[in-house]
Amino acid sequence: MAVLLDIKNACKRYGDQVLLDSASATITDDGRVGFVGRNGAGKSTLLRVILGDEELDSGEIARHPRLRLGYLRQHDPFLPGETALEFLMRDSSQPDWKCGEVAGEFEIKGTTLTGPVAALSGGWQTRVKLAALLLHEPNLLLLDEPTNFLDLRTQILLEHFLRNYREACLIVSHDRAFLAATCDQTLDLTAGKLTTYPGRIDAFLEYQREKTAHVERTNAAVLAKRRQLEDFIARNKARASTASRAKSKSKQLERLEVEDVAESAPTAAIQCPAVSPRKGPAVRCRDLAVGYPDHTVATGIDLEIVHGARAAIVGDNGQGKTTFLRTLVGSLPAVAGDVKWGHGCELGVYAQHVYTSIREDQTVLDHLERAAAIGTKQQRILDVAGAMLFRGKAVEKKVKVLSGGERARLCLAGLLLGSFNVLVLDEPGNHLDVETVDALAQALVAYEGTVVFTSHDRSFMQAVATTVIEVKGGRVVNSLGDYAAYLAAVSREIDEAEAADGRGRKAPAAPPSRREGGGKAAPARPATRNDREIRKEISALERSIAKLDVEKKQANAALLATTDADEAVRLHAEMTAAAEKLSAAEERWLALQDELAAVVGDA
């Protein structure tokens, strides 16, 4: 077990804000680490330091000489008109068969692989970037909120891949379900300190709760004893007969100390608008078609959502969830049919990326005053601002200096100050930390109005949704069962697709180009090694195959171009030697695939 990263006494601050305060931690080559902490704690800053994009104020990060970092890029690295396969080959310098094999792990195939990458949805482009990242064969993956904006299917595919990934991972995420499925260690950043816990996120959170509860119980007992001693001393110190005993008790009192409790960051106290419960349909869609002038996304939509329901809109990215929501609220006209809201419905809308449209010259208080219902008292506005963690002078902050999470909380605060009896929320949990998402879920469950929402956070969906509406294949229909049933159905689909493709427990098929004219494969070694060792040898061999293939092609091209006899003889010998080495390497590759299949099959 090698140490890939050794963080020693790391210190980093921005102005008065301390992000790292003599923080230390190690990440080993078998580490699958979930990196957690509140928004603004400094997690992304530490990742940038690890990548070399920022420097520490003091301390150091020691890196293993053979460390190969892989970081999921947020920007789009694609060239105009480039296909997904062309991008993967250009970015990784790997052959087409290898790029296709890794792309297949994320269901990137057919026209998705060979068509323009710019035409793909954001979720599919993220899949392409993940495939590109893995083609570089890093031994430490750094993923910063990888599930943001990923649909359920892509999240599950990424989980499956990471569970089988044999190298180290450091994953920043607020999605507990994702961390629980992929990480077996937890790294926490709180108050500038790094704490490593050798267990999954749920066990870590339970450990934190138990530790805090134990300290609080111990402190309560100590404080009770202190009060008892102080009372005895006050009653007896003035009397000569008991003064010595009071002095003895004073010394005992001095030895009683309470243990510091780690101060937790404040949690948003969310309360939805108080509304009167209603009955009957809140909204009806009849023969509705949604989309755009040049493209219809879904047709024949006939459904209704009743008052008091919490309807989750589900489906893969690019299927039309946001288009459907925009049509429901009237920000996008229907292509055909109609949408009718019930009498007296007042809609409050939180749209995807809405926080980017707030006027940046306003302060937090300015925005909330404009968003509040007429007649709302100033104290009510300040109370809601404080509940969403804008306290004291924070209400004077300009919008332009707010983080994404702060802007999201500000928009939610604006909704809370309204009198809406219908809330339409498109990805309300993005950029919110776990505690704030939990508080929002609890508030929505207690809300007596109607909620129509989308989210990729499975824990949030299961906590809130009472009905599920699926957008898929040009249709929008009520899904049978609850969200747990929908989640199980999607997981089953993916498992069946992977089994049909020969993925999962079966080793990948050898590339066709490597089977042609290659002679008989060498016999496999006895399956005494584990699959990780075999995969490492396969990776090294694939790099050698690619290098030898290039050498052979270069020698052949030079041979065809030369007119010098001696040079032609030399180049022919060089090409023959490269071809022989290539053939041997290909045979060894096939043998390793057989060995890997035997090991995986016995597992």
Report pLDDT digits (tens) over 25-72.
Answer: 999 988 899 999 877 788 888 998 999 889 999 999 999 999 999 887
Better-predicted residue by pLDDT, 351 or 142: 142
* Distances from the Cα of 461 to the Cα of 156, 229, 325, angstroms: 15, 52, 17
Over residues 468-486, mean pLDDT: 89
Over residues 285-308, mean pLDDT: 93
11 in Cβ contact with 45 (< 8 Å): no
Over residues 352-364, mean pLDDT: 77
477 pairs with which residues across the strands?
470
**Would you place residue 384 in the very low, low, confident or very high pLDDT band (cuts 50, 70, 90)?**
confident
Query: Coil, strand, or helix at residue 185?
Result: strand
Write out the two tokens for 208. Answer: 């934190």
Q: Is the pLDDT of residue 73 over 80?
A: no
What pLDDT, on a 0 to 100 scale, did the predictor assign at position 450? 96
Q: Is the pLDDT of residue 520 over 80?
A: no
The span from the CA of 569 to the CA of 557, in Å, is: 14
The span from the CA of 424 to the CA of 595, in Å, is: 54
Query: Hey, what amino acid is at 137?
Result: E
The span from the CA of 533 to the CA of 539, in Å, is: 10
Over residues 381-405, mean pLDDT: 85
Better-predicted residue by pLDDT, 236 or 467: 467
What pLDDT, on a 0 to 100 scale, did the predictor assign at position 519? 41
Q: How many residues does the chain have?
A: 603
Beta strands 475-478; 336-341: pairing state: unpaired
**Would you place residue 600 in the very low, low, confident or very high pLDDT band (cuts 50, 70, 90)?**
low
Half-sphere exposure of 423 (CA within 13 A, CB side): 35
Mean confidence (pLDDT) of the chain: 83
What pLDDT, on a 0 to 100 scale, did the predictor assign at position 89? 94
The span from the CA of 273 to the CA of 449, in Å, is: 9
pLDDT tens, residue by residue, 318-327: 788 989 999 9
pLDDT tens, residue by residue, 480-505: 778 988 888 888 888 887 777 665 54
112-116, 424-428, 526-530: range with lowest mean pLDDT: 526-530
The backbone torsions φ and ψ at residue 580, rounded to the nearest 5 degrees and listed phi first, read -65, -45
Better-predicted residue by pLDDT, 486 or 354: 486
The span from the CA of 530 to the CA of 204, in Å, is: 30
The span from the CA of 443 to the CA of 304, in Å, is: 24
What pLDDT, on a 0 to 100 scale, did the predictor assign at position 263? 55
pLDDT tens, residue by residue, 244-255: 887 887 888 788
Could you tell me which residues come within 8 angstroms of residue 584 by beta carbon, excluding any fewer than 6 positions away?
Answer: none
**Would you place residue 526 in the very low, low, confident or very high pLDDT band (cuts 50, 70, 90)?**
very low
What pLDDT, on a 0 to 100 scale, did the predictor assign at position 229? 83
Over residues 212-224, mean pLDDT: 81
**Would you place residue 264 in the very low, low, confident or very high pLDDT band (cuts 50, 70, 90)?**
low
86-90, 384-388, 597-601: range with lowest mean pLDDT: 597-601
Could you tell me which residues come within 8 angstroms of residue 449 by beta carbon, excluding any fewer than 6 positions away?
Answer: 272, 273, 275, 307, 308, 420, 421, 422, 423
Over residues 402-422, mean pLDDT: 85
What pLDDT, on a 0 to 100 scale, did the predictor assign at position 281? 93
**Would you place residue 260 in the very low, low, confident or very high pLDDT band (cuts 50, 70, 90)?**
low
